[in-house]
A = this chain, B = another copy of it.
Amino acid sequence: MSRFDSRSTSKIDQERGRFLKHLARTGLRVSRGRELIFNEVMQIHGHFTAEQLTKKCQKKNLKVSRPTVFRILHDLLAAGVIRETAFGDKHRHFEHVYDEKPHHHAFCIYCHGFIEFPDMKEDMVYHSIIEKKGFKILGHEMHFYGMCRKCQEKAA
């Protein structure tokens, strides 16, 4: 990142503030691991798994164990810095929130790839139905399933 990219930097600082606030509120320390993982996560664009994050750190000789990665991802989730999406496989998938526009996913049932598309705020019809049941909505995702372009071409 350019040192002149003040806009992007301030967004990260904003997220860092959110994280630090959460840590202070819950009596957790600003440990070496938490700073390290926070910085790495902020550099990832798109989705990642705990395994990918761990290997990314190891390549940089930033030593951090798998349990610690999961523990700190849990902290980041609780702080609202990252979100988790169920991809339907056996991994937990995360992505940070700060520069990602709200979006949804369409999964290919053949190659297990996916495409993303922006949230259109058109699904609010559901909100009143759900809230009438006493459920407090904090977020939502649309999952589409189907066949990606490549798999269609392969099949044809």
Binding site for B on A (CB under 8 A): 84, 86-88, 90, 104, 106, 108-109, 115, 117-118, 120, 122-123, 125-126, 129-130, 133-149, 152
Complex CA gap A146/B139 in Å reads: 7
Cross-interface CB contact of A117 among B86, B118, B130, B141, cutoff 8 Å: B130
Q: Which residues of B contact A140 (CB under 8 A)?
A: 142-145
Residue of B nearest to A129 (CB): B117
Cross-interface CB contact of A142 among B115, B118, B142, cutoff 8 Å: B142
Report yes or no: A138 in contact with B147, Cβ–Cβ below 8 A: yes
Report yes or no: B143 in contact with A86, Cβ–Cβ below 8 A: yes
Q: A145-B137, A146-B137 are in contact. Are A106 and B130 (CB under 8 A)?
A: yes
Complex CA gap A152/B117 in Å reads: 32
Q: Which residues of B contact A86 (CB under 8 A)?
A: 86-88, 143
Residue of B nearest to A130 (CB): B106
Cross-interface CB contact of A126 among B109, B120, B139, B148, cutoff 8 Å: B120
Q: A90-B90, A115-B130, A117-B129 are in contact. Are A139 and B145 (CB under 8 A)?
A: yes
Report yes or no: B135 in contact with A148, Cβ–Cβ below 8 A: yes
Q: Which residues of B contact A130 (CB under 8 A)?
A: 106, 115, 117, 144, 146
